[in-house]
Structure 1
Amino acid sequence: MWSSNDSTEVAFLPIYLVLGCVAAASAVRHGLRGALGHISLVIFCVVRFVGNLLLLIAAHTSGDVKGLVIAGFIMQGLGYSFLITAMLSYLSHLIRDMDRAEAEPAEKEAGGKRTRIERILNVVNIVALVLLIVGFNESMGSISTSSGALNMQDLNVMVKVGNILYLALTVLLAAIAFMHIPRISTSRQKLLLYTMISALPFMVVRCVYTVYVTFQGNPRHGSLAARIVCQYVMEVIVLIVLGVSGLLLPRQGTPHANPL
């Protein structure tokens, strides 16, 4: 018998496929050199699709399904890492575009500092991902099945720390984006920055919700409506914003353009 959670995960499978195709179109349009952010979006869609599929299989399989549950949760947590990677790509291109436009020694030095900040943010992203993977693996002993329903009673503290790091990283990215508003000097910079500003609030909502349910002890805990809105819909909005932005940005080789 299918639960409401199962129906929700099935409903979003074709959505991930469609949005993955949009991201792939953006990646092809800009070529490998300029499509890092869009390739990350394609990977995100694939990972979320597989994660949902694994949880569905686990929910309707008899016997020991702990491995499938862990893999499904890891896929869902790992997916957000690729959204962060895409956003970091936008930030990197934005900062370099602004520095080239200003082309002053002081700004070039500042640009070097910002590059170091980007590297630090990438490291935090990787650390959060590792914490989620290890934490979910350590939580395997807490998974039980009851009446066909999956229940994870107690998550390892590393899962909680990993999700908190993602929330902090997302808020920091939003703050950095808003700090760069006064530096906008071209339409391309405006599109890059406003794409970030448009997408990041939805990512913050998604992270706040994830932290909340993690501390409740079960990633599928609480209201299904809240889960649909605060997790699935937030992610879909971010994918749409970044996907459309990729289609609007000028392609590689366009004069005075530095496409993603």
Structure 2
Amino acid sequence: MTLDAQGILAAVTIAIYVPVLLISFKLVAKHRSIGWILLLVFCLIRLLGGSLLVAAEDITPVNTSLYLGGYALEASGLSPLLMSTLGLLRTVSQTPLGESRYNRLFYLLKILATGALVLTIFGVSDSGTSSANAMRQAGVLLFALLYIIITGICLILWSRVTTVMRYRKELLKAISIALPFLAVRTLYSVLSTFSSSTFSLSASSTPSDSDLAKFNIVTGEWQIYLVMGMLMEYAVVILYAVAGLLLPLDQDYKSSDFNQEAYPLSNPQY
């Protein structure tokens, strides 16, 4: 089997996400919270998408459904990564009573992320129409908006860091370090989506701007996809996985020197 550049990258994706998937199962069992569950979902999406693209290159005659499925998963993978970040921030914002201070906000943002994902999936699956292109663009812009809001939440938590419990402060540091990588990954999705008037598996789609054509996930330059796409999101995943393995978040509730008065914002805020 001979793979082209995209096929090789898909095979590499499978290889690097298998160990992270196993770690993600451990993190879900350890922490049992939505942020780690969504990290597991992201790893599954990357493995499935990579497998479809590798299989597509191995099958003769060409099966466009496999390519479409693989690239659709690639395009929608940003959603669980952003939602995982959101879930981890929710963990950071928990009070000593185990409640999030911003439950209503996180609920609304979950709806926003779900809506962006639905628009992206429908835009890819019905790629031959102008309305599908509008849905893809609307979806990715919602992802960009979600990233901006996530950054804002992170800044708010830092401004009130004295109210954040000990190990959750360390998790907040990991999320903050991951944000620049996540920004580049989100930017790549925006540029890729606006690089073509349709989501096509051939080079015949009409570029909306020649300068953006190189960012196209299907027909663009694989080096850009490798750096802005694969490496950026993998850096985020590794940061979250390492933080999840090292931080005993449950110990925040078992600390012998826990002082309720040290957390004046422990009551839920909306």
Q: TM-score range by the shorter chain?
A: 0.7 to 0.9
Check whether the contact 2:178–2:235 (CA below 8 A) recurs between aligned residues: yes
Does residue 161 (structure 1) correspond to residue 138 (structure 2)? The answer is yes
Paired residue for 1:199? 178
Structure 2 gap segments, 5+ residues each: 197-215, 259-270
Within the candidate set 35, 38, 47, 1:37 is matched to 35
Paired residue for 1:255? 254
Does residue 26 (structure 1) correspond to residue 27 (structure 2)? The answer is yes
* 1:198 counterpart letter in structure 2: I
Does residue 123 (structure 1) correspond to residue 107 (structure 2)? The answer is no
Check whether the contact 2:167–2:249 (CA below 8 A) recurs between aligned residues: no
Q: Secondary structure at the residue paired with 1:96?
A: coil
Does residue 132 (structure 1) correspond to residue 120 (structure 2)? The answer is yes
Counterparts of 1:223-234 in structure 2 under 5 Å?
223-234=221-232
Within the candidate set 166, 179, 187, 1:208 is matched to 187
TM-score, length-scaled by structure 2: 0.78
Instruction: Kindly state the Cα deviation for residue 197 of structure 1 after the two structures are TM-superposed.
Output: 0.8
Check whether the contact 1:81–1:129 (CA below 8 A) recurs between aligned residues: yes
Paired residue for 1:172? 149
Length, aligned pairs only: 232
Check whether the contact 2:89–2:154 (CA below 8 A) recurs between aligned residues: yes
TM-score, length-scaled by structure 1: 0.80
Paired residue for 2:217? 219
* 1:184 counterpart letter in structure 2: V
Paired residue for 1:105? none
Superposition CA RMSD, Å: 2.5
- 1:157 and 1:39 map into 2 onto residues whose CA distance is 30
- Post-superposition Cα deviations, 1:133-161, rounded to whole Å, max 9, x if no partner, equal 1111111x48xxxxxxxxxxx97221121
- 1:67 and 1:177 map into 2 onto residues whose CA distance is 40
- 2:116 and 2:229 map into 1 onto residues whose CA distance is 18
Counterparts of 1:75-86 in structure 2 under 5 Å?
75-86=73-84
- 1:100 and 1:242 map into 2 onto residues whose CA distance is 24
- 1:55 and 1:163 map into 2 onto residues whose CA distance is 22
Q: Secondary structure at the residue paired with 1:40?
A: helix
Greater mean alpha carbon deviation, residues 80-89 or residues 56-65: 56-65
Q: Secondary structure at the residue paired with 1:220?
A: coil
* 1:94 counterpart letter in structure 2: V
- 2:142 and 2:20 map into 1 onto residues whose CA distance is 26
Q: Secondary structure at the residue paired with 1:219?
A: coil
Paired residue for 1:5? 6
Higher helix share: 1
Check whether the contact 1:174–1:196 (CA below 8 A) recurs between aligned residues: no
* 2:116 counterpart letter in structure 1: A
Q: Percent identity?
A: 27
- Post-superposition Cα deviations, 1:70-98, rounded to whole Å, max 9, x if no partner, equal 2212222332221122112112122223x
